Structure 1
């Protein structure tokens, strides 16, 4: 077992890997792990590690390790701590706990999307939550909030592992201690049971040792210590085959490790080798020396080989052919050594590289990858023949690689646990495999692999009778079939306390193996994966573990608390939720109907298009007031009626204080400014003024001739000039030269991709942009940015799967549903309508004011342009299209961030958060101060002239925030009509007070339009 922990700047990063791994693979992307990933202006000192306590219980082949960390924040501002770590194959997190008011509180399982929502909601209220989630493959993230200013937080992680004996028949346990800084206090205790001839090594050498019979205890204590060597211990493996049958929740589960001598046939050396080489950004973290050593051994044995190489990133590159003669593969090696690891990881690209995979001893198909897929294409057709998946990375999705390989009769070759000789034998010498697994008296049988690993087959089952017989059908290297049988007997149910958090080994291993099997087709089995995760307290693609501060939070979010005493009170309070929830749904629909009626009244009203009156002659002509200086106070969210979603609290959470306006640069003065508006006047009061000549809803005026001009986005970063000035043949090399300094910057990849797009190098632009998917696993903000930019490039086929993933990660945010709906509208209008109705009718957090009204306008516009859609779910009062001459909608990527949309009309009058209705009828929706937007400007009848659209960064409440906020602005003319034209642009703002002109609408006079 291998663990390591590193602390850098404001982020803690904990690395846990397998027994043969180094403390931290030196090939891991250093910027991800070593550089600050977040920008906090008033936090300049790194978090420090005050204490580390390790307690490991080692019994037979099982290891249970508890790691307790005390983290100190020396800064004057409370911060969120993030710990990221990978686990090795066979390891699992079995629990964690956080100190809450001096007491360690254990975590409880929760659906993954709900866990993230609850953590974010509670942290906004400055209360103590902690969340542990699996991101992708064997990667995990622990979030703790807050680490108080000048204070400490204590957290415990519990990790279980099944240790496998090595070649000499000894079990090995390793705990690397490379913390990246001195540890003020370090204590470690290892307790062994049933072990013989224990041999300590590394930092454990010289430890105090106490023995009693076949039990031993070793202890190490250090102060102000910077360790260089791991804690290491080995002991002789016990004889026999471990078979464990245990009861959990009145069901019996069995776990067995069956000795299977992996006798092999004579080597079958290939004459053709097909290689799919994953050269995505994460591929830089693989141990290429081990990969090259395996290829060197393969070609030395095969001698003369024809090689087909496909380099796979976000897409597969054209195949290259190489002839290896006499084992000399120098040309191929040089090609591999020169590869740039760049772009996202696509299963479709892997499949394209393995398209010629076929059975037979003359052909061999190899995939070199970490299995961390993050680019659309997961449903690619699998190869027809056997594939050997080669892993040499610490951060990997071994379950994905194993499934891909074994589906066609191949196998996973993990170079972290196999030396070159053993790996070559796995490739060229067929061995024993499990052909069938059946039982009488048991169901849900599952095997970790169909091939023996470390000389053992690992299986698990759920018993359906007091006694069961499990039959394994094996096929050896010569094709001979044989059978092994296991007789299993369920034990009497074991007594357990109401708060017992210890999951029996057999139940835990069965659930882990079953979840891994189901994740082969995750979309089909999401509900089952979630149920198993919640029942067995497992981290999975669908479940996380969370710690909350108090009972009220468990009730508010309907999460079963960890103790029996809390659960009794929880059930009592939970019974009161149903009635209030239904009342909230009814109130939301009535609120939407009322506000939509007010919008209809505004739409039907004829606003004046005459020039504004000149200022009085006796007074000097006033200059337009800077927006930041307008005497307007934001409406506190506390004064707004809560409209919580189903999963949100019954009582609205206490919102943070409103952001206070600060002076900001004013836009350039307009030629004829309108009188300063009265900011206290509400928009809707103006909307419902008696219309001069009402129109039937849905009837549009003749659309004026209008055009959209987007201002070219011209970032001023130092790398931009080099990229612009480089020739097409050299630009990618310049990009690769600059890339190491910006691997954690979304801005760099967006800016660089923009230049490649502008120069017509579309494939390279997409590759560069796809690096956003590699930057931080399952970061919904980054995935949104990526999808927005792909939509701007008319690449909806790539954007839609990314937005589907965002919706899975954040179903509590209405923007997730709306973004997906808008991307689907051209190709799947019915689903788009259904998603938009979900937004319009949903009960969302107070931060998302008016998004329901915006989504309803988009729903009606889509149905007007697409006859025949099913609107049976939509309330009849709300099925009315209100066409617009001009529309601008602003969205952004950062939560807890306030961006403002400004639109200046030809008269110089500005529509913005404090002046939401202009003289000619331009209407602005309510201000979004809590993140994402959208903010919408709408104008039914556009006066001829130029309309300028601007965006301004106002401020944020982020605890951890990128110094940049990325915006997406959608401009439309003829909205809701057959003549609708749309343009989208993605750009960014760098900080508070920055303003940017995004684009313009130019509306021609009627005479010019007629010409």
Structure 2
């Protein structure tokens, strides 16, 4: 019997916290039937502002009105140089603070505990400066509360610092509370926008405070506060350390005395027109570009369009500032596809300087490219990878412009001027100072670092090209001590390290752990029981520390159990497969009607065969003979082992030509075109302009992965691979670090033989999920597709040498059944290219088979079945794992990603049918329908191996049904 688990649905909320980010927060269920069952019940926001630093703490309670448990995803972007520094969820009615854990380890622990129906919580940083928290479960008819806090450096705009918090919401909130405190302000804060007319500041002991408490409140306006900045005042803060040193932070205004930049007359515009670029503020970008053109008046501009390729657009000659043609061109650009920065090159666009309008997220290829001219990167999207954009700009003396968080005027000022640089601090008592020496600054300037002397006077230097123009003194004895400056300093250091995130991965991880902040390599996690902290070797939050210590002293034995070193299992499996392969399966006895006369003897039958007739006329299948008759045939020199593809050649003369024809015969694999029956596909198929119809329909399905998958498959089947691949790549832009979406892409890319991109996609999944055996396997097979055979072997072998949590190992069952044949396939086909010294020789077995079928799928907690029906009508599947002719199927995977595998050493004559059955799914996520890949191999691990593959989607459980026909072939 198959085991089914309670269904979990996922919701997505956009918790948006910077200017122009939109609603706060917005709940989405996608296509789930429970889309209206999760509501924001309580919202409590506490804002504290010190100078140009703000701390925002949001406590959100979500209630679930449905009768089933739901799993929650809350995804939100944050401003530049800002990260999560506090996270808590409710455990037994009380908020519990999270603790830092390495990112991949946190996901592994979360998913292991989640399978035990316990209440973990995790928050992680995904691509760019975007964060995701996963809450499981939100109980049926119950609620869960999450608290998130972050520090933010406010931007100066017209001599005032501005704090902005979007609050516009589409539904009423049962309980709404908002409190803002401004400390040590020289003037009363100015309310530009507030959620309620009664919201106003009052002063109490040098603290300005405003508060609002409402029931059944629907906020329709945001909170925007202007904080005047005194021209000559340096605001500074310190935090003492145990060794007597202090973390310090200061902000001040600088008379920059900037010099105008001299622009080239030949400008290249690289305009990202991928799907994710629809989220950019194009109106603001065009206004910004217009200011630059109007200043220069006469320019030659080359435009390149960037998605999965860099396509040369149009050339424009701007005269007297008239750029109307260029403006119209940019306003009518079509946005589609993923993004591949590796396609950027200077030969496609011929210019001296370049403007790159993008979000910094290369979803369909590496973010590195060869370029040796200045690139000015401009971001107007809240969902941006600021580190990548800064890295690109700094590489060849360009600039990064954050158009999302700055006005057009200020952004234009930044790009159009050569500004004063910060040249460091004279005093040798200060170290680890950020920003780094040489950083260009505008009017407002902030600096943080570590001073070995608590009351030191520090001299800050400013100038150009290493020459000091003027100095500023920072007196730490006058600094305030009422703020967690250490976290602000850590954020600034991480922002610097993320300019080269790969090289600095270890440092980023360690800082995240030490300061309990979320980084690209560190997450925050909450566990339900103290025993879980002991089990997974995680130091708990302060409120659980005593109980944790007691359990540790008592030698508490609740240890994490792991399944390590699968090599021994693989040795056993290799021996089992070899023994299976040696078996000469007896033919199935068939019953035929008896004629009136006696049957002709076998010898007479053989003697009656005329030499030279067609091979199929001269064959007698051993499967159709009795044991006695088979012995007679064998006596004539014909054994079962002489069958090239499962036939017994009854011609003892062994005609040479006949044998050559027979051995070269390869059945044709006929794959079934599994078409989508969605209404949008009917419209596209009937359209005279299918691509335009796709664009017209997209606004209704813009976040639905199966829409892009179905439409891409349609164009690929119509032999328009270029369009199909572009549409398919859009899936990469739908989710941030979404392994399910990327697995979907990897399967389809393998099918259409886009092997380099398949390799990039599978490597991403491996980076995100190194605790999954399938991650190494998928990456290894992509390496094999790219003819990197040694690396493929090494990664396949890692599947056997890694260790796994017991929960994940149980989910995957015995994956060695699949890995052993794949390792031996590599060896059989490419032995001369391989160094086998690191491979245990006991798993190297020669087991070529006539038929191998493998099925994978992209979603966890999903049960897909593989069925193979042979010519005798016998179906090999989970409840009939071996067949009379020697077929065998691997263990039934009911909770994971697969794979499932069918093997048959010797095929008999007749038709074979391959089917899948979607038995059930224990989750429903934004990735929509489950993506299934089926691979059919004939003559696997032989010199004439052939393969066909199909990738399709299914979201229709069909327990006890007829399954879906995938492919068939006839021996």
TM-score by length of 1: 0.82
Pick aligned residue for 1:835 from 795, 806, 817: 795
Q: 2:937 aligns to what SS in structure 1?
A: strand
Name whichever of 972-981 and 786-795 sits farther off: 972-981
Q: 2:119 aligns to what SS in structure 1?
A: coil
Pick aligned residue for 2:831 from 863, 867, 873: 867
Q: Which residue of 1 aligns with 2:871?
A: 906
Q: Within 5 Å, which residues of 2 pair with 1:616-655?
A: none
CA–CA separation in structure 2 for the residues paired with 1:518 and 1:146? 35
Confirm or deny: 8 A CA contact 1:246 1:254 kept in the other structure: yes
Confirm or deny: 8 A CA contact 2:38 2:65 kept in the other structure: yes
Confirm or deny: 8 A CA contact 1:38 1:962 kept in the other structure: no
Confirm or deny: 8 A CA contact 1:469 1:485 kept in the other structure: no
Q: Which residue of 1 aligns with 2:164?
A: 174
Confirm or deny: 8 A CA contact 1:247 1:491 kept in the other structure: no
Pick aligned residue for 2:895 from 930, 937, 940: 930
Confirm or deny: 8 A CA contact 2:40 2:61 kept in the other structure: yes
Q: Which residue of 2 aligns with 1:546?
A: 525
CA–CA separation in structure 1 for the residues paired with 2:892 and 2:92? 37
CA–CA separation in structure 1 for the residues paired with 2:96 and 2:425? 41
Q: Which residue of 2 aligns with 1:655?
A: none
Q: Which residue of 1 aligns with 2:359?
A: 370
Distance 1:209 1:378, change over 3 A: closer
Q: 1:91 aligns to what SS in structure 2?
A: coil
Q: Which residue of 1 aligns with 2:210?
A: 218
Confirm or deny: 8 A CA contact 1:463 1:490 kept in the other structure: no
Q: Which residue of 1 aligns with 2:940?
A: 975
Q: 1:597 aligns to what SS in structure 2?
A: helix
Q: Which residue of 1 aligns with 2:332?
A: 338
CA–CA separation in structure 1 for the residues paired with 2:820 and 2:555? 33
Pick aligned residue for 1:990 from 944, 948, 955: 955
Q: Point out where structure 2 has 5 or more consecutive residues left out of the alignment.
A: 1-8, 595-622, 624-638, 648-662
CA–CA separation in structure 2 for the residues paired with 1:236 and 1:160? 20
Q: CA deviation at 1:417?
A: 3.5
- For the aligned residue pairs, the C-alpha RMSD in angstroms reads 3.3
CA–CA separation in structure 2 for the residues paired with 1:114 and 1:703? 51
Q: Which residue of 1 aligns with 2:608?
A: none
Q: 2:710 aligns to what SS in structure 1?
A: helix
2:229 is the counterpart of 1:229: no
Q: Which residue of 1 aligns with 2:732?
A: 773
Q: 1:16 aligns to what SS in structure 2?
A: coil
Distance 1:491 1:894, change over 3 A: farther
Confirm or deny: 8 A CA contact 1:555 1:574 kept in the other structure: no
Q: 2:881 aligns to what SS in structure 1?
A: coil
Distance 1:124 1:846, change over 3 A: same
Distance 1:406 1:700, change over 3 A: farther
Confirm or deny: 8 A CA contact 2:267 2:351 kept in the other structure: no
CA–CA separation in structure 2 for the residues paired with 1:225 and 1:449? 49
Q: Point out where structure 1 has 5 or more consecutive residues left out of the alignment.
A: 1-8, 26-31, 359-363, 495-501, 617-673, 675-692, 1004-1011
Distance 1:235 1:724, change over 3 A: closer
Q: 1:706 aligns to what SS in structure 2?
A: coil
Confirm or deny: 8 A CA contact 2:570 2:820 kept in the other structure: no
- Per-residue Cα deviation, 1:280-322 (whole angstroms, up to 9, x for no partner): 1111111111111122222222222111000111111124211
Pick aligned residue for 2:672 from 701, 711, 719: 711
CA–CA separation in structure 2 for the residues paired with 1:759 and 1:134? 40
Confirm or deny: 8 A CA contact 1:14 1:84 kept in the other structure: yes
Q: Which residue of 2 aligns with 1:58?
A: 49
2:386 is the counterpart of 1:398: yes
2:368 is the counterpart of 1:379: yes
2:70 is the counterpart of 1:79: yes
Confirm or deny: 8 A CA contact 1:558 1:574 kept in the other structure: no
2:417 is the counterpart of 1:409: no
Name whichever of 284-293 and 520-529 sits farther off: 520-529
Q: 1:881 aligns to what SS in structure 2?
A: coil
Name whichever of 809-818 and 527-536 sits farther off: 527-536
Q: Within 5 Å, which residues of 2 pair with 1:362-511?
A: 364-381=353-370, 383-434=371-422, 440-441=428-429, 443-447=431-435, 451-452=439-440, 455-462=443-450, 474-476=462-464, 481-482=468-469, 484=471, 505-511=484-490
Q: Which residue of 2 aligns with 1:791?
A: 750
Q: CA deviation at 1:567?
A: 4.0
Q: 1:203 aligns to what SS in structure 2?
A: coil
Q: Which residue of 2 aligns with 1:568?
A: 549
Q: Which residue of 1 aligns with 2:194?
A: 202
Q: CA deviation at 1:109?
A: 1.0
Q: Which residue of 1 aligns with 2:815?
A: 851
CA–CA separation in structure 1 for the residues paired with 2:407 and 2:151? 25
Pick aligned residue for 1:522 from 496, 501, 512: 501
Q: Which residue of 2 aligns with 1:879?
A: 844
2:889 is the counterpart of 1:895: no
Q: CA deviation at 1:511?
A: 2.1
Q: Which residue of 2 aligns with 1:326?
A: 320
Distance 1:838 1:38, change over 3 A: farther
Distance 1:442 1:422, change over 3 A: closer
Pick aligned residue for 1:607 from 585, 604, 614: 585
CA–CA separation in structure 2 for the residues paired with 1:278 and 1:580? 48
Pick aligned residue for 1:593 from 558, 571, 578: 571
Q: CA deviation at 1:10?
A: 6.3
Q: Which residue of 1 aligns with 2:132?
A: 141
Distance 1:595 1:569, change over 3 A: farther
Q: Within 5 Å, which residues of 2 pair with 1:288-327?
A: 288-327=282-321
Pick aligned residue for 1:188 from 170, 178, 194: 178
Pick aligned residue for 2:30 from 33, 37, 40: 37
Q: Which residue of 1 aligns with 2:259?
A: 265
Q: 1:825 aligns to what SS in structure 2?
A: helix
Q: Which residue of 2 aligns with 1:806?
A: 765
Pick aligned residue for 1:955 from 920, 932, 942: 920
Confirm or deny: 8 A CA contact 1:554 1:570 kept in the other structure: no
CA–CA separation in structure 1 for the residues paired with 2:778 and 2:459? 51
Q: Which residue of 2 aligns with 1:745?
A: 704
Distance 1:22 1:867, change over 3 A: closer
Confirm or deny: 8 A CA contact 1:449 1:458 kept in the other structure: no
CA–CA separation in structure 1 for the residues paired with 2:36 and 2:332? 38
Confirm or deny: 8 A CA contact 2:155 2:406 kept in the other structure: no
Q: 2:538 aligns to what SS in structure 1?
A: coil
Confirm or deny: 8 A CA contact 1:131 1:142 kept in the other structure: yes
CA–CA separation in structure 2 for the residues paired with 1:449 and 1:778? 34
Confirm or deny: 8 A CA contact 1:50 1:185 kept in the other structure: yes
- Per-residue Cα deviation, 1:958-999 (whole angstroms, up to 9, x for no partner): 164755211011111121122222222111123100721111
Confirm or deny: 8 A CA contact 2:59 2:146 kept in the other structure: yes
Distance 1:302 1:945, change over 3 A: same
- Per-residue Cα deviation, 1:361-418 (whole angstroms, up to 9, x for no partner): xxx421111222212132212x323222222222222232222212322222222343
Distance 1:567 1:787, change over 3 A: same
Confirm or deny: 8 A CA contact 2:83 2:519 kept in the other structure: no
Distance 1:571 1:374, change over 3 A: farther
- Per-residue Cα deviation, 1:31-54 (whole angstroms, up to 9, x for no partner): x97753252x5x353311221111
Q: 2:944 aligns to what SS in structure 1?
A: coil
Q: 1:159 aligns to what SS in structure 2?
A: strand
Confirm or deny: 8 A CA contact 1:471 1:483 kept in the other structure: no
Q: 1:707 aligns to what SS in structure 2?
A: coil
Q: Which residue of 2 aligns with 1:17?
A: 17
